[in-house]
Amino acid sequence: MQDLLLLAQDPAAWIALITLIIMEVVLGIDNLVFISILTNKLPAESRERARRIGIGLALIMRLALLGTVAWIVQLTNPVFELFGHGFSWKDMILIAGGLFLVWKATKEIHHSVDPIDHQEDFIASSATNTFAAAIGQILLLDLVFSVDSIITAVGMTEHLPIMVIAVIVAVTVMLIASNPLANFIEKNPTVVMLALGFLLMIGMTLIADGMGFHVPKGYIYAAMAFSGLVEMLNMFARKKKQADREKGTTRH
């Protein structure tokens, strides 16, 4: 308690907390897009519960990992060397998570682009996409993003209470935003393809980071924001054309 009071009186601690909260919220966007797409494939009555359980388990996982910060930091130590590059456990986790995202996004894009020829396969995969399977996939990606998030937090501050508060606030924001984002994606089919493209890009970025080629996150989020803006303009244009058609039908 005394340590918390001392931190509360330290302006640098407040700056670190605000910065870390913003970073954690931004890093959580990737996870939230994946959760939204995955849970939208479940029956309507199970979607919200799956999102809440998935995000709630993500909070528990991150808080548990924060309790082992010393071990988490050691994940950055090289385990073996290949082609002159040392690979750590963190690198291998990022590569595995990136490959999973690329596989998942490619599979969903394939079904979206060519649903007729693969209708039977799609029905079979949907049948296996149970509540438990969705939670399992959410947890798998939660682990990847949690490790990345905590290592980022450790690099920004050495105070564990600040990390805990930032994680709780960020996950709370994810919990609040999950339903509106998932509903928006469901109601706008073209946004689904855009979101799958985001997942593909994020997956490739994770693989690149794991291979030692760091891609500044600012470039990734700038590209996502620009693509989102273009899609928003397309949505306005479609609504305007639809309204004009309805007016023309009414006049006739």
pLDDT along the chain (252 residues), means of 10: 52 72 75 82 84 85 76 74 79 84 81 60 48 82 76 68 81 86 78 80 84 79 82 83 74 57
Which residue is it, tokens 């930091």?
A: 73
Select from 159, 142, 157 the least CA-distant residue to 93.
Answer: 142
CA distance 151 to 25: 15
pLDDT score of 103: 84
Cβ contacts of 160 within 8 Å, gap of 6 or more: 66, 69
Tokens 């969705």 locate to 134
pLDDT at position 129 is 56
- The number of residues making up the chain comes to 252
The pTM (predicted TM-score) of the whole model is: 0.67
Map residue 228 onto helix, strand or coil: helix
Give 19: exposed, middle or buried? Use CB within 10 Å, 0-12, 13-18, 19+. Answer: middle
DSSP string, 115-168: TTTTHHHHHHHHHH--HHHHHHHHHHHHHHHHHHHHHHHHHH-S-HHHHHHHHH
Element (H, E) at 17: helix 11-39
How many helices (H) does the chain have, and how many strands (E)? 10, 2
